[in-house]
Structure 1
Amino acid sequence: MKRAVCIHGHFYQPPRENPWLGEVGVQRSAAPYHDWNERVTAECYAPNTAARILDPDGLIEDIVNTYSRISFTAAPTLFAWLARHRPEVYGAILDADRESRDRYGGYGSAIACCYNHVIMPLATPRDKRAQIAWGIRDFVSRFGREPEGMWLSETAVDLESLDLMAAAGIRYTILAPHQAAGVRAIGEEGWTDVSGGRVETKMPYLCRLPSGRSIAVFFYDGAIARDVAFGDLLFDGRRFAGRLIGAFSRGRDRPELVHIATDGETYGHHREFGEMALAYCLRAIEARRDIRLTVYGEYLAAHPPTHEALVREETSWSCAHGIERWRGECGCHSGTHPGWSQAWRCPLREAIAMVRDALAPRSEEAIAALVRDPAEARDAAAGLVLGRWSDESVAAFFSRHAPGGIDAEGRWRALSLLEIERQAMLMQASCGWFFDDITEPGSVQVMRHAKRAMDLARQVLGIDLEPAFIEILRRAPVNEPGYATGADVYDALVLPAAVDLPRIAGGIALYALFGLEHPAAASGLYDVAGDWPYRLNAKERRILGTVRVRSRATGEEALFDAAAVFDGLDRVVLGVREPGSGEALEAVRESTDPAGAVSGTFSRVYTAPDLSEEERWAIAREIAPGIGDAVSRVYLEAAALIGVLDDLGIPVPGAAARLLAHARAERLLAMINEGCPDSGRFFALAGEMQAGSIEPELAALVEAASRRITRALRAAAARPDDPAPLEEVSRIVGCAKVFPLPLALWESQNICVGMRGHYAEMRERAGRGDRGAKRWTEAFGRAAACLGVRVT
């Protein structure tokens, strides 16, 4: 392996979950997706599991899981979300790592990451150890192997962090070229100054650490990485490959590694179709005999360092001033608001550090009275998170760390203290300081985690840090109009997210009214058991009963009477109280003024202004289809008159015309949902609409057609000799071209590509005179053409 190429993608999303509920709330800026995790997954994480390579005619020639060929960071906060919400994407990434081990001599493509992206030089030694231990524990649980490498958040580096990583068994990390200070051949005395990014990046270096341990460091090629991330190199996969290949030294005989590191989101999210350029680049390099595609672990095993390096401490890859971006007004910003001040960063850092430093000794002292070894228990608490605090994982934890036994009160205290520790780490995530204002989601998120930690500390430790926290935030200026200081932001954007058990119980009643699972239960953070004996029909929309809520993370538990009355999104009443008699609930049920009865009977009452954005979004989605049904009912009542007006050539009034357009669009939708068995009827109705300049609701048609095509392809894969599903695909795509509809064909194309092997078999059978096989191959060829897939 004289010449090798490695491409590293740092795939990461910050924790976005509500700290009290464990689920990500709706984020309007991510529309049309629910939140930014969903959006980036659709644009990047999923496409990279099946990146397209096109032929000269623009047809899909091949599909590549890029994760199996590159080096990538497996960031815990992202992978935890993927595992729960997009298990097929998560599974494909795990499969890619297993495949990469076969390709790269037993070394996997995934590397570990500090647990929740803390800027390590700004963390305490105690938190550094936990970040590394939790990151490794998370990695092993997902990939089934020990990690060789570990990514430092923002590549922010100091020797203590490197030393702790080496002590934990980490063999290498990746840094930017400007983070090297000096190099020398192993065994030599003098150092060569390479500051300013002048380090030779084509080899690994040994970094000697204060303890006597050492770790390997790869300094990536900064120029190529910048052109990938911020230039136009991803416009052409061939050019991308050429740039990497062209970086090798001419006439040099020693082994060389050309490697780059960028945000993984560059490939598809930051750069549209970037995953396709990456896939083409990887294939082009793999096709060469003189260059090997590799990962860092394999290269390091084949070519141990011959030189050592001095690392510039307190530096990072995204701040020209070291690590000031995460604690001061250094001038680094996103570029979106170049005139904005970052003076808020220092007070926010001070506030977070105050909470951290106040909680750590008190928490450690308190948990020492409950478990055998507090440090060991803290590290092992990652297993509780991975197990979603299941009864089994909690029992196993206490069996190991409190072998003498622990009572219910002690379990509650211990779990609550460990949750304080987790929230205190999450509140230090780098995203809190990276962007342009304290109003940005990343900053709000770290304050929410701090609020959760402070709430628990008030309950368990009897200390109230919130007034001091808010006082520090009063010194944080705000750029966004509408807020004077960070304290105002805290009041407006942090406090409303905080919920207690009664508030959760009220939300559970509202969700139960619509047959939905509450986010607290969906996340696994809570066990919920509801009993709703007084549930009126959907028209009257009220529900009364009892609900038991138990926090799995802390063990806190309570039983409530709960009620929900819904008469529109602006007329909602939720009631919660201590359990009472069934007669009282019956009285509310029979009241002619249920909302008033709830308000007068329940001790805690919440109304429409108290609903969260997520609650409004969830309920609005449920009632939205009813709007279409209502419009259809109005049309049916007026259909005869509208038909007469139309037949007589009398202009139809505007409102009636809109009803007519809606009704026709509903007929188109019904045809698509049936698989377009009669394309002629679809074309005729679509023609009438176009002649009358009637525009249907394209989004609904796109969703229905895309869903039906995917369903048909799944059926075709399940029934490999049946041409009917393939013929349906061609019909639907043909109908969709009338408007035309921008179909979502990603999954359908993946299935189609996977069926090409069967196509070759059926084609051979057709050549031997099998009429059924001939019909199938013709149907597959037409369907593949409709989907943009090359069949041979």
Structure 2
Amino acid sequence: MTVDRVVCIHGHFYQPSRENPWLGGVEVQRSAAPYHDWNERVTTECYRPNTAARILDADGMIEEIVNTYSRISFTAAPTLLSWLERHCPGVYGAIVEADRESRERYAGHGSAIACCYNHIIMPLAARRDKQTQVAWGVRDFAARFGREPEGMWLPETAVDLESLDLMAEAGIRFTVLAPHQAAKVRQSGAEAWTDVSGGGVDTTMPYLCPLPSGRSIAIFFYNGIIARDVAFGDLLSDGRRFAGRLLGAFSRGRERPELVHIATDGETYGHHREFGEMALAYCLKTIEKRRDVRLTVYGEYLDTHPPTHEAAVCERTSWSCTHGVGRWQGECGCHSGAHPGWSQEWRGPFREAVVMVRDALAPRVAEALGVLVRDPAEARDDAVSLVLGRWSDEAVADFLARHALRDLSPDDRRRILALLEMERQTMLMQTSCGWFFDDIMEPGSVQVMRHAGRAMELARQTLGLDLEPAFTAILRRAAVNDPRYATGAAVYEALARPTAVDLPRIGAGAALYCLFGLEPPAAASGMYAVRGDWRYRSGAGIWRRILGTVRVRSRATGEEALFDAVAFFAGMDRVVSGVREPGGDEAFRAAWEGVTGPDPAGAVSGAFSRVYMAPDLSDEERWAIAREIAPGMGEAVCKVYRDAAALIDALDDLGIPAPGAAVHLLAHACTGRLLAMLGEGCPDPDRFFTLAETMKARNLAPDLAALGKAAGGRITLSARMAAARSCDPAPLEEIVRTVRCAKVFPLTLTLWESQNICIGMRGRYSGMRERAGRGDGDAERWADAFERAAACLGVRVA
């Protein structure tokens, strides 16, 4: 008889809500540079690489790529997946497809498990919030993966019986906890319990946890020692050693099935540990090659190995706080390690302020909803359909048809939407990241404040309830470690409140974005419908003007308004936009005369009731505008060079040292010529080499970042063309030329997509090589070109 020995690796992939609560989009985050924000950065470093993790051969060539999501167990966190769906659909699609693929591999059981909606610490939440977190997590999962979830991740694995019971009631079969969260165990049917507190639980089997309601839920307690070495040690430096540690954890001579499993942050594989996804892929492949051990996911294992033992949990414990859940409500001593001398006393008042808002709003919202919908709790739990539908007219109409007590007036519809948005913001303001780090001025805490600010604003507008004075009064007791701020209230005033926007501000911003042909973030997020009628527009380059009307409607709350809107731009320090009540054709003509006159800023200030100048621009607006106009700077420099080229040549011919500015102009112009050649696929490499050598001889410094980006982009384009043209070797030959030219400089090339395409074409190569062996000259040329291109990309062809 062969004893069943299986391995499961779980990755908790998660990012918190980073969206501006008023706009629905993630704004630029300077700390994530050179990326726009941390979601984008971690996607580049982790989420995308795990969809095609590389396995290298002994020569360092890519032998195979693996979508690790299809082989491991992973958390599908809604706040992350919703962002990926909008901003990185290719990564999102690969993750969803991986779950489908895993169902074929694991007897119908998918690799993805659900997560409580926005990472609330469940033991610290009110019952109604716990219920909604579970309901929204289940609904979001089903909408994305086309099936009901079998398992659910508890944020920070923070556990209590009430949360487990609500999960079981929702149909959840299992969850995953740390070993120290087991209190006692016993064999099913036995009376006596064995104390396993302190991490003494046998992690190689699932346990059934009896719940007060009479329901039960299965619990997998992961191997904490190996998980710790993966997350904080150097185990990911070698995929073979990683596999060896997992395989070495099986008992010798034990006559029962065993499951060796670990759980870590998914971001460990690539973000926290560079190339960690490659170690993971190699580990998975190593285990798959074994005959005595196999990979599994929790749902499959639970089906084939039902629990034979029961377990009781240590309530109000978590995986990242040795003091239970103290990290999210007081100074327990847990911190990131970045600032060992800092105090976390701020956590207590911060938790108190958030709970005050939560508890003050809950009964008032339920009462207000009670006169408009059949069942406020059901409506609340179903409101995730509005979020999934991005508050479209169809989603709103369907929701109201299900829940409204009667035919609703427009004001009633807006009131229901505002109340439900208030509820959503009160849940988002409890996200665990607000308390996890070392100071209340860090981004996670500020984000929680922003959600609280939006909830309190909606409470003022909808319920006539002003909680902000009490909120800031409590935050004054939260001491800040950063000397720039005295208390948490100062942080709120400086970093959270200024991010609030209203409809006039969105209208003025829409004019500014449309001035550059950009979609306003409020509209791109789906939270607002923004429709402009721009009657007057002039200018290009630096001097730009626009005037028209704009209608702004919040899809999330139903609030809407119509404005006359204007924007003028003459440089990053000369920006003005404004809105006013609609004034008619005569007022339009007068406003346009002023905007096109000698003092546009003064004209706007005199004619518009709400005016915004350069200092009022958000970082996101400045980033969007700067990115749009930056390419024009290069052309301007090239024009200066063209005008001065004859003089520079004369100075060079006469042996007169050129001014430093002239040298920079020449370097920029030469870089521009190199970029143009790369953009064409380097049809004449000798021209590229000659110019490059000239630059080296004259000590002209090229823009290596721009050249690397251009070369990588052209290689990717060539690879796409090669995939689309089944028998044409020209795009493959272009890859070879471009890579040869790029090697003249120490360029950093992004080859990820082109390598993936190349690997996907290996089947075609086999067919072409076979045809070439039968005397097909065209096939031989293509196969030879493919071999050379693959070698340039670091891909093994067979």
> What TM-score do the two structures reach when normalised by structure 1?
0.99
Corresponding residue SS for 1:310: strand
In 2, Cα distance between equivalents of 1:627 and 1:102: 53
Q: Which residue of 2 aligns with 1:541?
A: 544
1:711 and 2:720 correspond: no
Corresponding residue SS for 2:539: coil
Aligned AA (1:447): M
Q: Which residue of 2 aligns with 1:60?
A: 62
Select 2:563's aligned residue among 553, 560, 563.
560
Q: Provide, for residues 279-323 of structure 1, a one-character-per-residue CA deviation record: whole Å limited to 9, x for no partner.
A: 000000011111110000000000011111110000000001000
Aligned AA (1:495): R
In 2, Cα distance between equivalents of 1:480 and 1:564: 38
In 2, Cα distance between equivalents of 1:505 and 1:643: 52
Q: Which residue of 1 aligns with 2:34?
A: 32
**2:79/2:118 contact within 8 Å kept:** yes
Select 1:681's aligned residue among 687, 702, 716.
687
**1:224/1:260 contact within 8 Å kept:** yes
Q: Provide, for residues 496-520 of structure 1, a one-character-per-residue CA deviation record: whole Å limited to 9, x for no partner.
A: 1000000000111110111111100
In 1, Cα distance between equivalents of 2:281 and 2:726: 29
In 2, Cα distance between equivalents of 1:486 and 1:27: 21
Q: Provide, for residues 349-402 of structure 1, a one-character-per-residue CA deviation record: whole Å limited to 9, x for no partner.
A: 000000000000000000011111111111110000000011111111011111
**2:372/2:406 contact within 8 Å kept:** no
Corresponding residue SS for 2:781: helix
Q: Provide, for residues 248-302 of structure 1, a one-character-per-residue CA deviation record: whole Å limited to 9, x for no partner.
A: 0000010100000000000000000000000000000011111110000000000
Corresponding residue SS for 1:198: coil
Q: Which residue of 1 aligns with 2:495?
A: 493
In 2, Cα distance between equivalents of 1:379 and 1:536: 49
Q: Which residue of 2 aligns with 1:651?
A: 657
Q: Which residue of 2 aligns with 1:507?
A: 509
In 1, Cα distance between equivalents of 2:276 and 2:529: 42
1:21 and 2:23 correspond: yes
Aligned AA (1:209): L
**2:716/2:754 contact within 8 Å kept:** yes
Q: Which residue of 1 aligns with 2:587?
A: 584
Select 2:621's aligned residue among 602, 609, 615.
615
**1:506/1:575 contact within 8 Å kept:** yes
1:265 and 2:271 correspond: no
In 2, Cα distance between equivalents of 1:465 and 1:389: 27
Select 2:152's aligned residue among 145, 150, 155.
150
**1:534/1:586 contact within 8 Å kept:** no
In 1, Cα distance between equivalents of 2:44 and 2:222: 28
Q: Provide, for residues 715-765 of structure 1, a one-character-per-residue CA deviation record: whole Å limited to 9, x for no partner.
A: 000001000000000000000000121100000000000000000000001
Match runs of 1:138-287 below 5 Å: 138-287=140-289
Identity level (%): 76
1:694 and 2:696 correspond: no
Deviation of the 1:684 alpha carbon:
0.3
Aligned AA (1:436): D
Q: Provide, for residues 657-691 of structure 1, a one-character-per-residue CA deviation record: whole Å limited to 9, x for no partner.
A: 11111100100001101110000000000001111
Q: Which residue of 2 aligns with 1:632?
A: 638
Aligned AA (1:169): G
1:745 and 2:747 correspond: no
Q: Which residue of 1 aligns with 2:314?
A: 312
Query: How many residues matched?
Result: 792
Corresponding residue SS for 1:536: strand
Q: Which residue of 1 aligns with 2:777?
A: 771
In 2, Cα distance between equivalents of 1:617 and 1:486: 28
**2:8/2:260 contact within 8 Å kept:** yes
Q: Which residue of 1 aligns with 2:378?
A: 376
Deviation of the 1:582 alpha carbon:
2.1
In 1, Cα distance between equivalents of 2:31 and 2:377: 40
Deviation of the 1:694 alpha carbon:
1.4
**1:121/1:314 contact within 8 Å kept:** yes
In 2, Cα distance between equivalents of 1:773 and 1:643: 50
Q: Report the more deviating stretch, 533-542 or 108-117.
A: 533-542
Match runs of 1:449-464 below 5 Å: 449-464=451-466
For structure 1, list consecutive stretches of 5 or more residues without a partner in the other structure.
none
In 1, Cα distance between equivalents of 2:428 and 2:631: 39
**1:588/1:594 contact within 8 Å kept:** no
Deviation of the 1:630 alpha carbon:
1.1
In 2, Cα distance between equivalents of 1:264 and 1:56: 27
Aligned AA (1:8): H
Q: Which residue of 2 aligns with 1:427?
A: 429
Corresponding residue SS for 1:360: helix
In 2, Cα distance between equivalents of 1:403 and 1:368: 9
Match runs of 1:332-347 below 5 Å: 332-347=334-349
Q: Provide, for residues 226-252 of structure 1, a one-character-per-residue CA deviation record: whole Å limited to 9, x for no partner.
A: 000000000000000000000000000
**2:99/2:110 contact within 8 Å kept:** yes
Corresponding residue SS for 2:696: helix
Aligned AA (2:751): L
Deviation of the 1:693 alpha carbon:
1.6
Select 1:754's aligned residue among 760, 778, 788.
760
Q: Which residue of 2 aligns with 1:574?
A: 577
In 1, Cα distance between equivalents of 2:655 and 2:253: 84
Aligned AA (2:575): V
Select 2:553's aligned residue among 544, 550, 553.
550
In 2, Cα distance between equivalents of 1:631 and 1:481: 43
In 2, Cα distance between equivalents of 1:330 and 1:236: 35
**1:520/1:526 contact within 8 Å kept:** yes
For structure 2, list consecutive stretches of 5 or more residues without a partner in the other structure.
none
Deviation of the 1:405 alpha carbon:
2.0
In 1, Cα distance between equivalents of 2:749 and 2:590: 53
Aligned AA (1:589): W
In 2, Cα distance between equivalents of 1:436 and 1:583: 57
In 2, Cα distance between equivalents of 1:462 and 1:782: 71
Match runs of 1:34-113 below 5 Å: 34-113=36-115
1:362 and 2:359 correspond: no
Corresponding residue SS for 1:559: strand
Aligned AA (1:749): Q
In 2, Cα distance between equivalents of 1:758 and 1:683: 33
Deviation of the 1:695 alpha carbon:
1.4
Deviation of the 1:406 alpha carbon:
1.4
1:600 and 2:603 correspond: no
Corresponding residue SS for 1:573: strand
**1:399/1:405 contact within 8 Å kept:** no
Deviation of the 1:573 alpha carbon:
1.1
Q: Report the more deviating stretch, 554-563 or 649-658.
A: 649-658
**1:150/1:172 contact within 8 Å kept:** yes
> What TM-score do the two structures reach when normalised by structure 2?
0.99
Deviation of the 1:649 alpha carbon:
2.7
Q: Which residue of 2 aligns with 1:411?
A: 413
- Please tell me the root mean square deviation across aligned C-alpha atoms, in Å: 0.8
Aligned AA (1:684): T
Aligned AA (1:514): F
**2:430/2:448 contact within 8 Å kept:** yes
Q: Which residue of 2 aligns with 1:125?
A: 127
Q: Which residue of 2 aligns with 1:667?
A: 673
Corresponding residue SS for 1:428: coil
In 2, Cα distance between equivalents of 1:407 and 1:436: 48
Q: Report the more deviating stretch, 167-176 or 540-549.
A: 540-549
Aligned AA (1:571): R
